[in-house]
Amino acid sequence: MLNALTIDVEDYFHVTAFERYIKHEEWESFPVRVVDNTLKILDMLDEFSVKGTFFVLGWVAERNRMLIKEIQKRGHEIASHGYRHKLIYRIGYRDFRNDVKNARILLEDICGTKISGFRAPSYSITKDSMWAFDVLIEEGFTYDSSIFPVIHDIYGIPAAKRFPHEIKRLSGTIKEFPLSTMEI
């Protein structure tokens, strides 16, 4: 079986579960752990000659450009995780486009290459935010890994295809690599 390893590069205070308690404006006041932890992960991957895709949050990339360059230098793919880690269906079309565009431009500037992949914060492309695929296609992304074919309170499309497939929209086509699941 062929497997793909993906890692979301975000810090503990970015997670959706904390958004009621930790406001975006307060992020600068928290100790950053993402740099040291990502370097440890990179060392482990090097030890076993494993490569992966790192979905990087723009906020992290802007403050830790050398970390992103190190991930890339070690042969891993850099993809986008948006900029501010906001649920897509809550921020809406216009704010999502700005968030995605800003993160993509920043990551492309740091890496010097096109950024092709995207993963929504907290997998927040749901049946209520399928319009996000149009934005991703229009912004030049060729693949997405946001669909989680499960039931969950803030994410998931339970009836979604469980294996890689193409999503066709009026704006074009994008490849979808859903999160792994197993029927029990």
- Provide the whole-model pTM: 0.95
Tell which wins on pLDDT, 9 or 184: 9
CB-CB contact of 180 with 150 (8 Å)? no
pLDDT in tens, 30-87: 999 999 999 999 999 999 999 999 999 999 999 999 999 999 999 999 999 999 999 9
Cβ-defined contacts of 98-104 (< 8 Å, 24+): 99/58, 100/135, 100/136, 100/139, 100/141, 101/139, 102/58, 103/57, 103/58, 103/61, 104/80, 104/139, 104/140, 104/141
User: What is the DSSP annotation of 80-120?
Assistant: E--SS---HHHHHHHHHHHHHHHHHHHHHHHHSS---EE--
pLDDT in tens, 88-113: 999 999 999 999 999 999 999 999 99
pLDDT score for 153: 85
Does the pLDDT at position 1 exceed 70?
no
Joined tokens for residue 4: 């793909």
The whole-angstrom separation of Cα 39 and Cα 28 is 21
pLDDT in tens, 138-170: 999 999 999 998 888 888 888 899 999 999 999
